[in-house]
Structure 1
Amino acid sequence: MSILESLELALKNIVASKTRTLLTMLGIIIGVAAVIVIVGLGNGLEQYVTDSFSDMGTNTLTVTVMSRGATRTMDVDDMYEIVEENSQYLDLCSPTANMMGYVKIGSETTTSTSILGVSEDYLDIAGVSVASGRGLQYSDMATRSKVCVIGAYLDRAYFGGNAVGQTLRVGGTSLTIVGVLEQQDEDLEEGGSDDCLYLPYTTASRISGEVSSYVITMRDEDYMDESVNALESALYDFFESDDYYTVTSMAEMLETMTSMINILVGVLAGIAAISLVVGGIGIMNIMLVSVTERTREIGIRKSLGAKERYIMQQFVIEAACTSALGGIIGILMGDGLSIAASQVVTRVMGESLTVAPTVGSVLMAFGISVGIGILFGYLPAKKAAGLDPIDALHYD
């Protein structure tokens, strides 16, 4: 008997017992669909995190000064000097001063606006463009000018799109708006990326305290390790200790986040794959029942000269077909659930997150489903092939 004949006979037996076959495939269907959705969710999360970090700039290093140091005090000029001395690795530098408080516009007060003191290079580092007016300039830092640039949300919500030249107050200090940034998010909303205000770090330091962190760009991300080592070495030489600063790389944070997501997805996919094993046990159970039900048929075929390998081939192919059919249905269900999950997550979270299973994950799930069918179909097939034809013919 050829493989094609065995395949045709297997499909006939499957069609003849539709309900039993569907129930048998249920574990495979659920397992394959679950694996596809979970892997797709992991891919979506990884892409979302990558995009988020890309917006912040994966070529940036953040230096946080936690203490003044034992013998020396670091000021902005010291950090600029360190960057200049390591210019083969480091490029732009912006001191940053986080400001706590509210922005007062006329008689209204905003409670969620992000207020940050920065240098003239910060907008270039962050990859943000000015839509109208101008950005911050070196002269603003040198003269501690009371100016600022604001996000598109503040411009539209409080100034009707005509913010340039208007004034607002931060920490009791009146600032003149010299520029409005381009819109970053699709929707303008309170507390979003467009609800922000940047002023010269020198002005921010005078209003609310000191510069405690710096954002520095690398000239080449391919030399990230060398850039980090050069910066840390210079800081260690300055403080004579590594207790007073931390250097954080966005690229390293992205790599760590991606690794954590992959581990989580792997664990969840492994748990979902248990359904495939359960489905395989179900296939083995049904195939054993099928062997019992078709004992006389097996006896007749053997008495007519059918070899054991043909009998085994017949039952293995039937188990594989059952499992493969369940895998195909599971793939279709997984793709449908992935599309639905993308829409649900986007609506619930308000973030664009695409649950996107890869071709590799689909092929892997299908291959595993077929492999499970063959693996768990082997024992019933071996039992069928080993039946004594005389005993089989006398079986009632």
Structure 2
Amino acid sequence: MHPIELLRFAAGAIVAHPMRSALTSLGVVIGVAAVVVMTSIGLGAQQRVTSTIAGLGSDLIIVSPGASRGGGGFVQGAAGSGQSLTDADAEAIASQVENVAAVAPVVRGQAQLTADGANWNSRIEGVSPDYLIARDLTIATGRMFDDREARQGRKVVVIGQTVARELWGDLDPVGRRVRVRSVPFEVVGVLESKGQSSFGQDQDDVLLGPLEAVRSRIVGRRARGDTVQTIYVKAVDADSLDRVQEDTTNLLREQHRIRAGDDDDFQTQNMASILAASQAAIATFTVLLAAVAAVSLLVGGVGIMNIMLVAVTERTREIGLRMAVGAKRSDILIQFALESITLSLAGGLLGLLLGVLGAIGIAKLGSWPAAIPPWAGPVALGFSSLVGLVFGAYPSWRAARLDPIEALRRE
């Protein structure tokens, strides 16, 4: 028979039983939609983590204290709870480690802010002027405090967009005064907005002040002497990042007089390696999600095979009649294979549409990037066609193997 005639017969059989055709395709619809949605979620998570880590600063090394220890050397606190880093460590890194663009020691706290009748609780960070370079931050209005103001511990601050909005609304905060707890500070600058991180933290809800001023007047007893909680070290470029990390580690071991074989009392984290590890973990998780979702495609394929076997049984007399008037076994085989592939392909198209809409809906509900991979369409349609071909092969073979005389006798 002519291929056009075979297509016409296959389409006619599908249209003649719309409910059965819809139920046959349902498994493929669900399977394709699930694969697209799960893959989109995984890629969205990858983009979210990438943007968050990039927001910390590029070519960056984060040096933090190790766990606090009690008598006998036993660990008593979590990692980062110790007080092993000092201003001298930051100065040594800046002066002795090559290929360093900026070194920024930091102390942190939380405090109530009050200004012009408004109040707001915000994150306080005591930093050096190089903090902007290390963290890739820019000033929207005003300026950053300079080295002289930082050395003298002057009471000047730079604030994030959230703090500016909560305390002064649409007014320009530069030149105004804000009380941090009971200490008055002058606002000299406002940072450019960085938005919300993937962990839900508002990166604009921050107040930056000179390290010494914040440490002595705000953080107080939680930071003894000249200790700092973190040292940000920015390399001049990505190629020198590993070398800078190694040199920083060796220098701090010398500074802290750590003997060979003993554990470090600090930690160094390379943002590039953290990003690579995070992306690898999320990629594995995405593949796992897609594989689990793909199981429903196999279930849909089994459903297609079952319904097609039922169709062969119901249409036995029709098959016998067509063979009696000259149809070849290959014609019957191709017709039923086309029916199976068409049902599966239609399910794939509908599933792709529902998957894209579902991915966009989830992205909007959860403020999540709608990351739909470009290969989703071709792969979904190709795989659904393959499912129809594979699982329709046996029913098609059964139909083609029917004996015409026995088929005509069937009621």
TM-score after normalising by structure 1: 0.87
Q: Name the amino acid aligned to 1:55.
A: G
Q: Name the amino acid aligned to 1:393.
A: L
Q: Which residue of 1 aligns with 2:80?
A: none
Q: How many residues align?
A: 383
- Closer, same or farther: CA 223–17 of 1 in aligned 2, 3 Å: farther
Aligned equivalents of 1:327 and 1:142: distance in 2? 66
Secondary structure of the corresponding residue to residue 62 of structure 2: strand
**RMSD of equivalent CA atoms:** 2.7
Q: Which residue of 1 aligns with 2:276?
A: 255
Task: List aligned pairs for 1:28-43, cutoff 5 A.
Answer: 28-43=28-43
Bigger CA drift: 322-331 or 264-273?
Answer: 264-273
**1:337 to partner: Cα distance:** 2.5
Q: Which residue of 2 aligns with 1:177?
A: 187
- 2:155 alignment partner, one of 121, 131, 146: 146
Misfit runs of 4+, over 6 Å: 67-70
Q: Name the amino acid aligned to 1:17.
A: H
Aligned equivalents of 1:136 and 1:44: distance in 2? 38
**1:138 to partner: Cα distance:** 1.0
Task: List aligned pairs for 1:188-267, cutoff 5 A.
Answer: 192-207=202-217, 208=220, 209=223, 210-239=227-256, 240=258, 241-267=262-288
Aligned equivalents of 2:68 and 2:404: distance in 1? 91
Task: List aligned pairs for 1:282-301, cutoff 5 A.
Answer: 282-301=303-322
Q: Which residue of 1 aligns with 2:164?
A: 155
Secondary structure of the corresponding residue to residue 375 of structure 2: helix
- Contact 2:85-2:228 within 8 A present in 1 as well: no
Q: Name the amino acid aligned to 1:78.
A: D
TM-score after normalising by structure 2: 0.84
**1:304 to partner: Cα distance:** 4.9
Q: Which residue of 2 aligns with 1:166?
A: 176
Q: Which residue of 1 aligns with 2:78?
A: none
**2:96 is equivalent to residue 81 of structure 1:** no
**1:233 to partner: Cα distance:** 3.2
Q: Name the amino acid aligned to 1:193.
A: Q
**1:322 to partner: Cα distance:** 0.8
Aligned equivalents of 1:369 and 1:257: distance in 2? 32
- Spell out, residue by residue over 1:133-191, the C-alpha distance to the aligned partner (whole angstroms, 9 max, x if none): 320211122222222212233334334534333333335433232222234449xxxx8
**2:401 is equivalent to residue 386 of structure 1:** yes
Q: Which residue of 2 aligns with 1:10?
A: 10
Q: Which residue of 1 aligns with 2:77?
A: none
Q: Name the amino acid aligned to 1:229.
A: E
- Closer, same or farther: CA 243–288 of 1 in aligned 2, 3 Å: same
Q: Name the amino acid aligned to 2:383.
A: I
Q: Name the amino acid aligned to 1:76.
A: D
Aligned equivalents of 2:245 and 2:65: distance in 1? 15
Percent identity between matched residues is: 33
- Contact 2:120-2:163 within 8 A present in 1 as well: no
Aligned equivalents of 1:222 and 1:388: distance in 2? 73
**2:123 is equivalent to residue 114 of structure 1:** yes
- Structure 2: which 5+ runs fail to align? 74-82
Task: List aligned pairs for 1:47-58, cutoff 5 A.
Answer: 47-58=47-58
**1:312 to partner: Cα distance:** 1.9
